[in-house]
A and B are shown apart, each in its own frame.
Chain A
Amino acid sequence: IMCASAKYNTRGPALIPRMKTKHRIYYITLFSIVLLGLIATGVFQFWPHSIESSSDWTIEKRSVHDVPVVKLPADSPIPERGDLSCRMHTCFDVYRCGFNPKNKIKVYIYSLKKYVDEYGTSVSNTISREYNELLTAISDSEFYTDDVNRACLFVPSIDVLNQNALRIKETAQALAQLSRWDRGTNHLLFNMLPGGPPDYNTALDIPRDRALLAGGGFSTWTYRQGYDVSIPVYSPLSAEVDLPERGPGPRRYFILSSQMALHPEYRSELEALQAENGESVLILDKCTNLSDGVPAVRKRCHKNQVFDYPQVLQESTFCVVLRGARLGQAVLSDVLQAGCVPVIIADSYILPFSEVLDWKRASVVIPEEKMPEMYSILQSVPQRQIEEMQRQARWFWEAYFQSMKAIALATLQIINDRIYPYAAISYEEWNDPPAVKWSSVSNPLFLPLIPPQSQGFTAIVLTYDRVESLFRVITEVSKVPSLSKLLVVWNNQNKNPPEDSLWPKIRVPLKVVRTAENKLSNRFFPYDEIETEAVLAIDDDIIMLTSDELQFGYEVWREFPDRLVGYPGRLHLWDHEMNKWKYESEWTNEVSMVLTGAAFYHKYFNYLYTYKMPGDIKNWVDAHMNCEDIAMNFLVANVTGKSVIKVTPRKKFKCPECTAIDGLSLDQTHMVERSECINKFASVFGTMPLKVVEHRADPVLYKDDFPEKLKSFPNIGSL
């Protein structure tokens, strides 16, 4: 109602001033009456319905038989044949897609019509179940728009999935009269069964001009790379049969062929293989003498033995997918579903979604010529790889073959990635099964670089009010040759930092950053003042580290720039009695964490800590005023998959006038709290990322019988 009145009010003033003044009142009255009438009508007629039957409006109760009928005159235009030279930059109108912050294309679907020729004979089945599912999926997806003017891609509702179920010329005419056809520019057709007798073309024979084709069974000669999309041939059996994923491991047969109506030549080659290798090869065919009522598709036979299909596929390690009349075979989908590694023998076949899927990880492709060598080729595949391929095959099915929805969305995503390449989905996202995605590590600092020594490091001292101790730390740290800047993070809002003149005079720039709140996470903020890659986090009471130790720590960090390199090491342990993690600060033979009271690390991890810390860990740390270092250890280990490096021998971390880390750590409640942190973080990360190692880094000649003055870092481990 608000909307309605606003609409009329805005229209009103625009109209009224043009009238003569004396008529104004009359017109205003008239408008008011009309308006009131409208409102009354609206309220009267629609109000009750909106409560009772809103659901009826979203689901239209219509049958496909009720759709409008369009008669195609015999002489209506036919599009040009498909243009083999089409590429995205020549035949696709990118201006329709535009730049948008979401980087998503908009897809419009033409409404369903029934096409008949001049004599009223229908051109094709109005729509198949699969095509309807596909269009529903698009319509429910983020890509969908109902505004034809905003669309980047148009999907006709004319079903061309199966070329044999339609009349080619008339279907082409139907395409040509679509409202935005424009030579097929930005139109996407889905076809799974192309070609027909006698030559079985590998692409849809319907003249389609510039339209993109998502086709099943392309060969390298018909596939326009970077323009068309190769899609699977959907197997309706997937919806019927529930094949639970079968774990890896040995299977009864090594090679299985389940296709019916194979060419006798192929069959005889397969039989030769079977004769050579006996039981491990199973060649199935159509059953000839099934009792009535048993669907022939669900059974396969070998001699008199009857097998259930597709269940039998799960009994084999490798399943042969041979070309039939066409290149694309529905059996591929069944094979993948069964977690059987497909052996694809179809020269020049463009595998489904090959633009993004790495089929080498899920299948074995063998040239037709080499069919006789199939057995030995497959035997050379390592067992562990077979297991990975089986899981990969199943994952491909689940993600991209399982339903018409999966097929439709993968197709649109591929086109989307071409139009917004800078926002494209990565290889890993396409190809890695969820379990691998979950467990694999993609180190953000993956390039092995040894940062130049000249860059130096920035020391960050977090302080609250221990000025005296802070000044001692500053003086000590400033002696380290590679120090390039010192940053004091002043975490006390109630007290101003000492005056400039009181600070120690040091050879490198000293900056004081004042924080807005006394939070532990301030220590890990990626301050703009940090210009070096290396950061030394150091507490304001760590005065016992020698200059040699710090310099050596920096050198070690340069060799391991993606790790935490620190001095005091700690360990996490599994407590069998309590059934949870426990924090350990005793003298152990292992380390899994270093304290950030004195540790070198890459500035990038400050960025990660501040912006990418999973869950509520950051707030939790700030609230508890503890465990920021454990959180940092978890974060770095989780993102890199690597252990920390502890440098130099253990020292007593004690200073006369302050409570040092060790002093605190001894406190029992402190230990309990730290253990809690580990358990909390492990549950947030969903895993225990920390790595346990038994080594620490010392200078090459540490404690060696060698003149001290010739050692680069003589002053290591002294108290």
Chain B
Amino acid sequence: MQTRKKHIFLTFLASWLLLFFFGGDQLRRFTFFSGRKAEARRNWPSWTDRSLLKSFADPEELQSDGDPSLPSPRARRAARLSVYKNSRCRMETCFDFSRCKKHGFKVFTYPRERDQPISESYGKILASVERSRYHTPNPEEACLFILSIDTLDRDHLSGQYVRNVDEKIRSFPLWNGGRNHLIFNLYSGTWPNYTEDLGFDIGQAILAKASFYTESFRPGFDISIPLFSKDHPQRGGERGWLYQDSIHPKKKYLLVFKGKRYLTGIGSGTRNALHHIHNGKDIISLTTCKHGKDWEKHKDTRCDKDNVDYEKFDYQELLHNSTFCIVPRGRRLGSFRFLEALQAACIPVLLSDGWELPFAEVIDWGKAAVVGNERLLLQIPSAVRCIHPERVLAFQQQTQFLWDAYFSSVDKIHLSGLWQIIKDRLLPHRSRSRFLWNTLPGGLLALPDFSTHLGDFPFYYLQRGRTPPALAEHSKLSACHNTYPLPAFSGSSPSEKFTAFIRAISPSISLSQPILRLIQAVSGSQYCAQILVLWSCEKPPPPSEKWPQTTVPLTIIQGRRKLSDRFFPYAAIQTDAVLSLDEHTSLSTSEVDFAFVVWRSFPERIVGFPTQSHFWDAEQRRWGYTSKWTNELSIVLTAAAFYHRYYHSLFTEYLPVGLRELVDGLAACEDILMNVLVAAVTKLPPIKVTQRKQYKETVPQQVGGCKDGDAGAAPAGGQSPLPQHSPPAKVKGTAGAAGSRRISQQQDCLNQLVDWFGYMPLVSSQLRLDPVLFKDQVSVLRKKYPRLEKP
């Protein structure tokens, strides 16, 4: 005992001495001054000779990074071409750009073989292509080829599995090792591994595949597409389910999942763990093992209880009432529930490691989904709980935007999403930035051929910087330029002038009175930059001296005598705003001024005077169209309307050719199409502004003299006189019949457009914008637009 005591005593003494002599340093840190100094102490040291350290590379070497012994760039490119094939394909090594040079981006589909059945989904894809503006029946012109063999389902246990694909494609003379081919696939591999193998050699073809695994994905070459069901609509598509924005999303559940549980095999790791996070309150995670033929053989102890719980909840109900939805991998990486959750504005929580997300090349999924980690399932509840309500709201809105812009129909997924991604690759310098893809109205509606500059589009003024406080719109404020620091990035706003664009179709050689009056009125506007007259007649326009003298330049453009001409993106239109007019339109300068000022507040919409509206005709089960006075409006006639010039480009370059042909063949349909187009893009109604003249329901006339009768375009709801040279057949007695025929044509047009779009894009509005003091009991002298009130 004594020895032990001595030992202890000595040990203490020794340790004390040791501490004193050697450990002072440690002691200081651990006992006396723990905390701040200790932290600082163990930082990366600040070397005394740090300024003497050598640079990582010699500056001159850095600036001249060349090696004369290297082969020439051309030779190196050729070498890359031969090395990077098949599984290492990239656009520059496996895609023949020269094919797309001459005819642009054209797609050829192989003729379908009669004995070769194709699935519904593949049929829709092919239909999409064939209906699109990129389709060509001529393989010589084609830039991209699509097989007629259905390769969507490559699970060889499936009924739709097509055998001997290898043999078939090799027999195609156009196959060429798969170059410039696009192959679609939704399901690959089979039980138990569900590999990425397609069962045939795709060679150098681009693969558009659902459930893509990052490792087999050839970046910048392949495209990941979402898994969609055979019932996915061809076009149009259902709307998203978000109808209201609320800050504390008062949804019943926070996080839900209802689906299969796999006890074994690939994907079971995640699916078998999901029940752990179920809390029965705001987190509902239900799994069942009741699937497959002999599930009872493999069932474990949980199964029976799980199956009971499972039946208690309805999948659709959960989808509608939850803020977050778990989208775990199944056997394959993608699942239907991804699109389902997206549509339901149930923020997807992805648990699918290694899944190359659909269109991830362009879509920023971080704004619409929570990309979780399969291994960290148990952290998901706390992670989603911590997401700030404002962010949740932004997430929800983004799901709806993405759903609507890229996924709601087969047309959107393939025709637009897919094509535009490939098209962007062909001309990298004229492609859309990520910003355009991920901001309303979406990449498909921002044509890079029009411009790559955001300020040229009507949609992004606010995102690209607010208008500086002082602008011509409010001259009294001009001095504040000096008071407020303006950003180097001056705010963007639509241009301060407009182009008047008058369509003239009357056959007269001398100019009619209305058009002269109109030119006078419009050129009197302080905002008018130029006047363009679209001369849509066979007869040549009157010589320049016959035209009125105006303060602004007046240009005549010779049209091609088609109704859709008026929306052609003429290079002469230099301003953002276009004031579209018919020659018979009667407007005063005040009206034009006021309407333009209003348009500057709503540059993405059509702002105009005479309006019409649509309604659902329940009796006839079709859409009705009326030009009568109503309390609502959904169409602003382009006979007198402001809109952004970009809509000319969308009209001509975005709409399918078939639609434009339809419009050319029907009277007064181009108005409706323009309105439908703008409403489809903005999801908003047009805006009506005050008009001085009271419009009466006058008889619209068929103006047939100019062309062979197909270019009937009447003054819109106008009070304008009959053109002097209107055909003698159109006398008063028949005019009523002509009017109703016109309405029925417009009705036809509307219904055909709805059919093309797949839904009714028009939105109704109940308001009209008037000057602030319109018809108020104040002195006329105080009013800025007194002329609008004259009877």
Contact = CB atoms under 8 A, between A and B. Distances in A.
Contacts of A264: 72
B649 to A, nearest CB: 14
Interface stretch (B237-245, B282-290, B408-416, B545-553): B237-245
Interface stretch (B106-114, B424-432, B561-569, B738-746): B424-432
Given A427-B438, A438-B487, A569 B770 contact: no
Interface in B30-49: 31-34, 37, 39-49
Contacts of B84: 221
Interface string B377-391: 001001110110110
Interface string B766-791: 11111111111010001111000000
Contact of A225 (B64, B219, B684, B773): B219
Given A46-B28, A62-B45, A700-B630, A99 B382 contact: yes
A700 B631 contact: yes
A694 B415 CA distance: 43
A700 B633 contact: yes
B598 to A, nearest CB: 5
A422 B383 contact: yes
Contacts of B453: 382, 384-385, 388
Contacts of A221: 84, 88, 90
Contact of A101 (B248, B386, B771): B386
B618 interface: no
A594 B491 CA distance: 24
Given A64-B49, A365-B428, A589-B773, A140 B43 contact: yes
A177 interface: no
Contact of B247 (A130, A422, A426, A603): A603
B92 to A, nearest CB: 5
Interface in B5-49: 5, 9, 12-13, 16, 19-20, 24, 27-28, 31-34, 37, 39-49
A265 B73 contact: yes
A446 interface: yes
B53 interface: yes
Contacts of B722: none
Nearest to A420: B383
Given A58-B40, A94-B375, A700-B632, A555 B766 contact: yes
A138 B689 CA distance: 60
Nearest to B613: A700
B772 A447 contact: no
B466 A440 contact: yes
Given A589-B771, A692-B473, A604 B31 contact: no
Contacts of B721: none
Interface string A657-694: 00000000000000000000000001000111101111
A146 B64 contact: no
Contacts of B244: 449, 451-452, 455, 533
Contacts of A87: 214-215, 353-354
A76 interface: no
Contacts of A426: 366-367
Interface string B566-606: 00000000000000000000000000001001100100000
B376 A128 contact: no
B372 to A, nearest CB: 8
B434 A604 contact: no
Contact of A574 (B13, B479, B763): B479
A286 B73 contact: no
B465 interface: yes
Nearest to A323: B73
Q: Which of A220, A226, A329 has the most CB of B within 10 A?
A: A220
A4 B452 CA distance: 68
A259 interface: yes
Interface in A199-241: 200, 220-221, 223, 225-226, 233-237
Contacts of A261: 64-66
A452 B59 contact: no
Sorting the interface of chain A by its residue count into under 10, 10 to 19, 20 to 34 or 35 or more gives: 35 or more
A704 interface: yes
B723 interface: no
Contact of A266 (B42, B73, B246): B73
B50 A358 contact: no
Contacts of A712: 631, 766
Contacts of A50: 32-33
Contact of B771 (A60, A138, A380, A695): A695
Nearest to B70: A325
Contacts of B97: 367, 369
Interface string B77-92: 1001000100010101
Contact of A125 (B54, B367, B594, B598): B54
Contacts of A77: none
Contacts of B393: 444, 604
A422 B387 contact: yes
Contact of B489 (A192, A391, A713): A391
Given A193-B57, A574-B480, A700-B766, A46 B387 contact: no
B149 interface: no
Nearest to A652: B777
B509 interface: no
Contact of A237 (B59, B80, B364): B59
Interface stretch (B310-318, B456-464, B531-539, B699-707): B456-464
B476 interface: yes
A324 B65 contact: yes
Contact of B768 (A64, A237, A367, A702): A702
A128 B55 contact: yes
Interface in B467-505: 467, 469, 473-474, 476-480, 483-485, 487-489, 491
Contacts of A200: 67, 70
Contacts of A223: 219
Interface stretch (B176-184, B394-402, B652-660, B666-674): B394-402
Contact of B376 (A99, A259, A445, A643): A99
Nearest to A451: B244
Contacts of B479: 574, 576, 579
Contacts of B383: 99, 422
A516 interface: no
A700 B770 CA distance: 10
B433 interface: yes
Given A603-B246, A692-B474, A700 B688 contact: yes
Given A569-B772, A700-B633, A233 B62 contact: yes
Contacts of B698: none
B710 interface: no
A129 B16 contact: no
A264 B88 CA distance: 29
A360 B374 contact: no
A144 B488 contact: no
A297 B20 contact: no
Given A89-B375, A130-B55, A421-B370, A556 B31 contact: no
Contacts of A193: 56-57
Contact of A89 (B66, B250, B374, B597): B374
Given A421-B366, A427-B438, A435-B488, A144 B66 contact: no
A331 B66 CA distance: 13
Contacts of B682: 448
Interface in A42-77: 42, 45-46, 50, 54, 57-65
A167 interface: no
A444 B390 contact: yes
Q: Which of B70, B242, B245, B630 has the most CB of A within 10 A?
A: B245
14 contacts: A41-B19, A54-B37, A59-B46, A63-B49, A64-B47, A95-B375, A99-B376, A361-B435, A422-B384, A444-B393, A445-B397, A641-B466, A695-B772, A697-B768
Sorted from nearest, which 4 A-B pairs have the closest CB atoms? A261-B66, A324-B65, A261-B64, A139-B44
Given A54-B37, A361-B435, 13 more contacts: A132-B50, A135-B44, A236-B55, A259-B64, A261-B66, A324-B67, A427-B435, A439-B491, A446-B394, A694-B598, A695-B597, A698-B769, A700-B632
